[in-house]
DNA sequence: GTGACGTAAACGTCGTACTTATTATTCCCG
DNA sequence: CGGGAATAATAAGTACGACGTTTACGTCAC
């Protein structure tokens, strides 16, 4: 899904990034550019560019005479959407999903409060529209449609907060929601209570009620965390 | 400050990243690899590796036949510590500092609450030590010493939260605090009230009182935001 | 055992040649 | 005169080979 064949660079980067973040190349292990070039059947040029990108994400460290060593997990750029995607696709998806959901539970209530203050009429309208879309797709195994509305909904709230750091978390939230829908066992329709809360949040934002918006979003977050507790060990 | 002459790559990356994030190369403007190679007097190889890194940060987009175009601000990886450093060094430091402080005000209270639950004895000890260090350096123009304790203090709280997303925000907070001390007009000693709150926070964490920890941290955040309002327009 | 020293292994940089995608232009046909 | 298809031009993508530079590691003398 993440792999497009739009260039050798992309393919190699994606493969290596996935291998590293999935723990297949544990921290401390070393890679050699020549070996990689041989393995992927590409020139060392391509490998070097990939390594540089991985290095900028602090996934690896390149040192002379020793090679490219995988760095310890604590140094990864875990906010890089690419890294998040790799990790969610890899082994410790549950742990990752939990960290990210806790992050959401801290950010989104505050963002919703700000959104209630700053949202434009246009944003309010689209928010309501998305909430209705969620209602419409909340029953009858329309998970993909629901997911799309859900992602759009949260993205609007984050954007409407007016804070760029919050806004840029839209991609992260999208990854989390997508990961939850696709990888988690999620046969059933979404929780009706959650759907209702989204509708109420849209109302609170439209009415410019920051306290309510914050409170409702906290409830949504609590629900998401609870869901994780139930579905994942 | 960020530039070490540890390789051409680093130097070129730092220079270009700074120029882009400072708005010197506004979104939409195009760079050519050949020109850059000539300008920095390095081979195209080096330039390409730099471009690839910049591309992974979503600062630029490279397309055939058209060149390397600077992408709009909304797409930048603003959580990348490198990008943060560039932006804090650049033109819109005030705006950036405000966004980041709002982010802190959302994250740190939650992190402090978690820290109160999960902190080890060792972490509590070091936290208290740092709080005392802040007290000791809070008067008499010892700003650098105070800053060091302040950074360490907040880093411990974030780490003790047990959430890796929070923990990785330690670097961001460090940048914010450093930026505030160094670039802001800050002749005076730190606010005594803030110092006291840090001491109380250390106590709350040590006593395992999440509610108090969260509340006190919120007060610290409010103070930081207020400080921004007073010092920057 | 300890220190200086040399060696080789890996990345770092360079230059060039060639390939490919994309845009701009030209030119022919309707 | 206009529009679409063939064509040219351009800049990035890839490959290869060579040399430079750092640095871990083994060796040798003391």
Chain C positions with a protein C-beta closer than 7 Å:
8-16, 20-23
The predicted structure's pLDDT at residue A189: 85
The C-alpha of B136 sits at a distance from chain A's nearest C-alpha, in angstroms, of 31
The predicted structure's pLDDT at residue A3: 37
For the residues B130-156, what does the mean pLDDT come to? 95
Closest-CA residue of chain A to B107: A106
Q: Is the pLDDT of residue B121 over 80?
A: yes
Q: Give distance CA B63 / C1' C21 (Å).
A: 9
Mean pLDDT for all residues in chain A: 93
The C-alpha of A126 sits at a distance from chain B's nearest C-alpha, in angstroms, of 20
- Beta-carbon neighbour count of residue B16 at 10 Å? 25
User: Taking CB atoms and an 8 Å cutoff, what residues of chain A touch B166?
Assistant: 102-103, 106
pLDDT-based confidence at B5, cuts 50/70/90?
low
pLDDT digits (tens, 9 = 90+) for B66-79: 999 999 999 999 99
Least confident of A80-89, A118-127, B201-210: A80-89
Cβ neighbors of B212 (< 8 A, separation 6 or more) are B116, B200, B204
Closest-CA residue of chain B to A84: B165
pLDDT digits (tens, 9 = 90+) for B146-177: 999 999 999 999 999 999 999 999 999 999 99
Percentage above 70 pLDDT, chain A: 95
pLDDT digits (tens, 9 = 90+) for A145-183: 999 999 999 999 999 999 999 999 999 999 999 988 887
Near-strand D residues (CB closer than 7 A):
A 7-9, 41-46, 49, 63-66; B 31-34, 44-45, 48, 51, 62-68
pTM, rounded to two decimals: 0.92
The C-alpha of B103 sits at a distance from chain A's nearest C-alpha, in angstroms, of 7
């Amino acid at each position: 899904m993440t792999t497009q064949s739009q260039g050798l660079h992309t393919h190699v980067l994606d493969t290596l990034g996935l291998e590293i973040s999935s723990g297949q190349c544990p921290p401390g292990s070393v890679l050699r550019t020549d070996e990689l070039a041989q393995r992927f059947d590409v020139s060392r040029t391509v490998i070097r560019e990939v390594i540089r990108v991985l290095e900028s994400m602090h996934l690896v460290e390149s040192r002379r005479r020793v090679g490219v060593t995988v760095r310890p997990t604590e140094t990864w750029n875990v906010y890089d959407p690419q890294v998040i995607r790799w990790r969610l696709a890899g082994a410790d998806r549950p742990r990752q999903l939990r960290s990210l959901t806790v992050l959401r539970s801290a950010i989104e209530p505050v963002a919703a409060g700000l959104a209630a203050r700053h949202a434009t009429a246009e944003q309010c309208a689209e928010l309501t529209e998305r909430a209705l879309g969620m209602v419409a797709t909340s029953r009858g195994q329309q998970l993909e449609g629901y997911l799309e509305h859900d992602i759009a909904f949260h993205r609007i709230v984050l954007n409407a907060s007016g804070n760029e750091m919050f806004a840029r978390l839209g991609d992260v939230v999208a990854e989390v929601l997508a990961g939850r829908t696709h990888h988690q066992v999620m046969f059933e329709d979404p929780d009706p209570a959650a759907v209702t809360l989204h509708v109420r949040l849209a109302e609170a934002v439209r009415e410019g009620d920051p306290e309510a918006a914050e409170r409702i979003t906290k409830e949504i977050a609590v629900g998401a965390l609870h869901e994780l507790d139930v579905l994942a060990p």
